[in-house]
Amino acid sequence: MTAQTIELEAQLDAIRQEAQAAIATAISLDQLEQLRVKYMGKKGPIPQVLGGMGKLDPAERPRIGARANEVKEAIQADLDRKKTDLQTAAIQAQLEAETLDVTMPGVYRSQGRIHPLNGTIDQVLDIFVGLGYTVAEGPEMETDYYNFEALNFLPDHPARDMQDTLYLPDGNLLRTHTSTVQIRYMETNDPPIRVAVPGRVYRRDTVDATHSAVFNQIEILAIDEGITFTDLKGTIKVFLQELFGDVEIRFRPSFFPFTEPSAEVDVQWKGRWLEILGCGMVDPNVLKAVGYDPEIYTGFAAGFGVERLAMVLHQIDDIRRLYNSDLRFLKQF
């Protein structure tokens, strides 16, 4: 063995030891990749050592070549082991960071509740469905015919004025009551009829503790042979007692274009009378407008604001509380 061969072997051993120490101290996969390129790449120290084999005796060259392969394999084995260790450590750290402590209390997420208006609508409809009524709905944007003309409103009735009704640029309007659906329903259904109509209505009204420009209304309509005002009073009393329990009720004479005779109904609320609904016998002109014979059929209708019912039912002192989305208020229901 020549001195040159001994020197090349020493260089290969030094490379092996240097690489082993560097790999052992690597702390990341990126750093390990840099070491792989440094020691195993084409420009690494091993190819440089092998470049000096041309000066060796031909008989010595296989010895250096074999030694160089041993060093390469040893370095690659160190790289593979270190890579496995670093990957395992990374996975373990991730597991520890994402571990859930099942003994810790959970995060409280409050459940949604039914809004008092929706709850009141559901209660009212349940009562009337139990009395044999069918629920019907209709459009909020209406024509003058369904909102006024078919309901026996005279051309000069104050409710037609701009200060009461919200008219749209195309000549239509936002319905001022759900009575429009009664007309639509009667046009497509023959008596006997018992229908409850919930929906949102719109009026030019000053907002205060008991009034709103946009509110929810429910109307009922019953058409059949032989229906009288006594049937209307009995239905209203049963409904209010079912909803509120034992409350004092009074009927007052009133006027509506689409009913005759007409009445308003009040309930005793916080020591004073609160108007709760309007009602009456369906005017014969309304029956004629939908093709019913008023000599054969009679009927009654009643309409009430859901907000007023909710205020009495839940002892709410201001209608605006129902629209403010104040969680402190809504969480009570």
Q: What is the pLDDT of residues 119-170, one digit of tens each?
A: 999 999 999 999 999 999 999 999 999 999 999 888 877 766 755 888 999 9
124 phi/psi in degrees, rounded to 5:
-65, -45
pLDDT at 142: 94
Please report, for the chain, the start and end positions of each structural domain, with discontinuous segments joined by +.
3-98, 116-330
290: its two tokens: 């939908």
Q: What is the mean pLDDT of the chain?
A: 86
- What pTM value is reported for the model? 0.65
| pLDDT digits 0-9 by tens, 216-254 | 999 999 999 999 999 999 999 999 999 888 888 999 999
- The CATH T-level fold of domain 116-330 is BirA Bifunctional Protein; domain 2 (3.30.930)
pLDDT at 262 over 90: yes
